Structures are given as C-alpha cells and as structure tokens.
Structure 1
C-alpha cells in the first residue's frame, strides 16, 4: 500500500546525528477513495522510521460512520479544537471534562507510530471506545484510514500561519527531547520536508481542496482567536448540535487559553511526562516544557529571523497561489 524510502540529505542526516531521529518518506500506492480535483497528485509524507511498522494498520483501520475526526498539522490548534468538539458532542459535560484527561476522551490515533512505547494501545482503546468517538490525528489524506472516505466521517480541519506553527512546533520538539537543533535548523527541516508530517503546505492544500464536501469543516486558528463564539456556532451546526446563548458563554469560558492551560485534563502535561520517560529525559515539574505555551497570533515576529520569515512566506506563496489559496503569504 505504501512505497517507503529512508531519507538521506543534509537536513535529515543532521537531525538524525543530533537527535537520533531517523526519517522516512511514505507514498501511497493504492487508489484513495476521496474526491479531489484532478490537478492534485498525492505527495510523499515524512514520518519517523518507527511509523512504518504501523502504517498499514492505520490505513486499514475500521472507522465508524459517526466518528468525528479532528485533523491538523501539528501545533495548529488541535487540543483547543478537540476540547471544543468533545464538549459539543457530549452535552457540555464539564464534570467529565474536568475529571478525565482529554487524550483519553479524544484519542490520538497514530501515537504508537511516532514513539516506540509498548504501553500505548491507542488502536485497542479506540476499538473499545463508545460511539460517537472524537479522534485526533495529524495524518494527511494519504496516510489516514481509507474507510474515512468510504463512510464519509465528519472531519474538522484546522490550520495556522506556518510561521507561528513552526515556532510552536520547535518549542515542543525542544521541550520533549530536549534537542540540540537550533530554530534556524528547524525552519530548514520544515522548508525542505524533513520533519514528521511534512509537507505542511501539501497537508493544508489537500484539505482545502475538499473543503466544500459536506463532511468537511475547514477553519483556521486565527479564526478561533478572532471570534471563538462564531467558530463554536459553526461547529455546532456542522455537528447538528444546538445550545443556548448561556451554554455557549459557559463553553467559551471553559475554552479560554488561561483555563485550558491551567487544566490538568487539557494541558497535556501528563503526555509530556510520558514522552520524557520514553526519551530518558528527567522530568522536573517546575522546569518542564509547557505544552500550552502562549497561544498568541504573530508571536513568530519575536523569534524568527527576517530571513526565515521571508523564506517561509515565499514557500507559502509558491505552494498556495497556484491553487487559489490566499492564506499566510505575507
């Protein structure tokens, strides 16, 4: 089902030498049952070497028609969207949200394919989870279960300015290992498709090109920051859920960045603790990387060099403009 090739180039080799992370490209060989414009051809996706053990299982995973899939490129508002969607699908059950970790309520589909931790049994957990399931994934179309397209599961896709995404992704990457890679080197990895889930630009384009399909809801992180109430309303309508003004106001308070960051069930710190153990990194509660850092728009201006900003903008314009997508080009 996949053609798999180990990556060897300056950026990939540098990452492997510095961090011990080997990379592969996976290219789907089967016909993916999704209606997408003929002008688009599926591209390879960069993933850690370990992922190939699970790739076929993920592609053949049996989905349910009432599954809700939250799909993003990493660090594009995934956790925020997961919590919003789970709450809308579960009658705003604040008690359950505040007592059960989000990654147990909304399972990270391909986690076992990223990090070799035997104790994670996410597929088994998903198979035993009651419907409707709210499932998190960062996979592009070519790596997702084929059943998603046959059964027309609802997909909520969120994207974010690549410059802010890169800064946030870099801090997470550095916070988990911690790594020896500089932010300029990390930018180079993203621009040359030598980081897990790359290419960001192909990832966004695929879902933008199918955004008009009835089972797809497409919006941006910036949309959420600008008018969360409107996004809640749009998502409620998409999910065929109806809430009062008072209930929506309560949900907005629950979804505030300050509340999410302070919430032990939403801030993913337990997840970071497990990853530190996997990579044999000492976990210090006070000094540990915070999964939810700042949540701001335009923060990249403080951390990226002008050269990096210009290169990312040029890549975005070059990738998006031919398809009529006018996002994040400047």
Structure 2
C-alpha cells in the first residue's frame, strides 16, 4: 500500500542527532478512489516519523463511521480553534461538557500513536468507545487518510493558514514540545525542502483545495476565522446541518475567543503538553511550560522572518499554487 523512503540529509540527520524521531518519506502505491482529485493526479511523498510508517497501512485501513466529522489541517493552522468550534456545533452547544472534559478526550487525535510512543493510551480504542457522531482531529494529507473516508463520504472540515505564519508557529511548537534545538533558519530550510513532519505543506493544502467543491468538504482559512468568525460559524452550521438561535451563536463566539480558549484548561491543550513533557522527562511548571496556544495572530511572522525567507516562502507558494489556479498566500 505504501513505499517508504529513508531520508538522510543534513537537515534530517541533525534532527535525529537531537533525539527527534527518524524521518522517512511515504508514498501511496494503491489507487485512492473517490477523492475528487483528477485521475491523473500523482501524490508526492509525505515526510513522517519512522514509527508512523510502521503503522501507515493500519491507519489507511481504519474503518470509519459514516457520520464521523474530520477536522483536517496541516499543523499550526488553527486546528484547536476549529476543533472546538466544530465540536460545539455538533454537540448542541454543550458548554457544560466542553468546560468539564478536556478537548483531547472529546476529540481524538487520530494518528498520535504514530507520532510518539504511548504505551498506556491507544487512539483506536478511544475512538471505538466514543459515541457518534465523532469529531476526529488529524494532520494527515489525503494520501495517508483512511480510504474508508472517501467511500463513506465522511464530512471533512479543512483549515489552512498563511505558510509564513505556519512555519513560525510550527518552529516554536517544535522547540517547545520536542528535543529539537535548531535555529529558526534551519527549521525554515527543512520546511521549504519538505524535511519536517507532515511536509509538504503546499501539497497538503493544494489537494484539499482541489476537492473543496465536494459536498462532504468545507474548506476554510485561519485568516477568515480571525476576520469574521461569525460567517465561518454560519458556514460550518450549514455544512453540518445544524441551526442555532442568535444568543447561542453569540455565546459560542465569546467562548471561541483566543483569550478565553487560551485560559480554558479544557480547550488549551496544556494536558497534551504535560503528557509530552512526561515522555521527554521534563519538569512541567505552569509558569515556564510551553504554551500550546501561543499568539494566534495573522501576520505575526513579520516580526520573526527575514525578508529573504518571506520571499523564498512566497516564491514556493506561487510555484506550486498558481499553476492550479490557487492564488492563496501568493503575495
């Protein structure tokens, strides 16, 4: 089902030397039917940890439920924000449950066991125990997702973000949650050459944009959510066939504010940070620990990226997106 290619470059070898999992590139060998992509489409390989490759077939063969709702993003594109919005809409605005049960329990991170070694928790078992409809989080590209999704036409909410903001946020995430100690310049070079996990960012986005008109796909952007969250909520409600009163929508908008979510222990993913600190044998202290929800701004990259890297990222965006008619983030 997959061809796995080892990656040995200066970038990846340095990552491994710092204690981060060895990386490989995974190519699908089977025909992935019914995605809505052109029949002639050729999938690029996806950079993933070697431990994921050992389970890639298992993830691809996972049996989904027809009413599953998948929140799909490249990392650091507004995943947690979209998860909480989606879960609340699906679950009849159950604020009590949201504020009492951690988001990592309400919404399972599908491939987490393929990213880090977890002996005491299994995503498949957790998903099996969840009642329908399930909201499921994943960062997997089309080529690695369960084939059953396309056969059963599960609903997919796809969120993307300006790659310049993505790479800065992803760098801080990587520094905060792995043993990686490289510079931001080294990280960007890896991102640009598809040598970090889940890369390529650009093909991840492009493929979902190409199927955005499918009835089971909602394609939204982080920037749209920041600019007009109400409109995105309305689109999501329509997509999920849900309808709510004005006061319920207003309460949801307040609940989803960055400040409220960052301060909310059931929404801010600090439980996941604590878990990973334990695996890395780091001491967790609230005042010094990495904050999963960092700044949540549009254009924050301007304070951290050099003009040279801004131009390099914009150039790659144009080279991959424009030939297919996508002009998103091309400036």
Q: What is the TM-score of this pair, normalised by structure 2?
A: 0.98
CA distance in 2: counterparts of 1:145 and 1:256, whole angstroms = 32
Residue 58 of structure 1: CA displacement?
Answer: 0.5
Moved over 6 A (4+): none
Counterpart for residue 130 of structure 1? 131
Counterpart for residue 248 of structure 2? 247
CA distance in 2: counterparts of 1:204 and 1:280, whole angstroms = 35
Q: Which runs of 5+ in 2 are unaligned?
A: none
Whether the 8 Å CA contact 1:19–1:180 is kept in 2: the answer is no
Counterpart for residue 22 of structure 1? 22
CA distance in 1: counterparts of 2:20 and 2:26, whole angstroms = 20
Residue 39 of structure 1: CA displacement?
Answer: 5.2
Residues 1:143 and 2:164 are matched in the alignment: no
CA distance in 2: counterparts of 1:235 and 1:166, whole angstroms = 26
Counterpart for residue 316 of structure 2? 315
CA distance in 1: counterparts of 2:69 and 2:219, whole angstroms = 13
Residue 252 of structure 1: CA displacement?
Answer: 0.2
CA distance in 2: counterparts of 1:196 and 1:264, whole angstroms = 27
Q: How many residues align?
A: 330
Question: Superposed, which structure 2 residues align to 1:54-203 within 5 Å?
Answer: 54-203=55-204
Whether the 8 Å CA contact 2:93–2:252 is kept in 1: the answer is yes
CA distance in 2: counterparts of 1:314 and 1:296, whole angstroms = 23
- Over aligned residue pairs, what C-alpha RMSD do you find? 1.0
CA distance in 1: counterparts of 2:157 and 2:318, whole angstroms = 24
CA distance in 2: counterparts of 1:57 and 1:301, whole angstroms = 41
Residue 103 of structure 1: CA displacement?
Answer: 1.1
Question: Superposed, which structure 2 residues align to 1:256-267 within 5 Å?
Answer: 256-267=257-268
Counterpart for residue 31 of structure 2? 31
Counterpart for residue 273 of structure 2? 272
Counterpart for residue 8 of structure 1? 8
Q: Deviations over 1:41-92 (max 9, x none)?
A: 1111000111122211110000010000000000001100000000000110
Residue 178 of structure 1: CA displacement?
Answer: 4.5
CA distance in 2: counterparts of 1:309 and 1:228, whole angstroms = 27
CA distance in 2: counterparts of 1:230 and 1:72, whole angstroms = 20
Residue 282 of structure 1: CA displacement?
Answer: 2.1
Q: Deviations over 1:233-288 (max 9, x none)?
A: 00000000001111100000000001000000000001001111112222222100
Whether the 8 Å CA contact 1:2–1:29 is kept in 2: the answer is yes
Whether the 8 Å CA contact 2:15–2:180 is kept in 1: the answer is no
CA distance in 1: counterparts of 2:228 and 2:44, whole angstroms = 34
Determine helix, strand or coil for the equivalent of 1:155. strand
Residue 119 of structure 1: CA displacement?
Answer: 1.5
CA distance in 1: counterparts of 2:236 and 2:153, whole angstroms = 17
Counterpart for residue 215 of structure 2? 214
Residues 1:289 and 2:285 are matched in the alignment: no
CA distance in 2: counterparts of 1:149 and 1:170, whole angstroms = 32
Question: Superposed, which structure 2 residues align to 1:225-236 within 5 Å?
Answer: 225-236=226-237
Determine helix, strand or coil for the equivalent of 1:265. coil
CA distance in 2: counterparts of 1:168 and 1:35, whole angstroms = 31
CA distance in 1: counterparts of 2:20 and 2:221, whole angstroms = 33
Whether the 8 Å CA contact 1:5–1:25 is kept in 2: the answer is yes
Whether the 8 Å CA contact 1:71–1:157 is kept in 2: the answer is yes
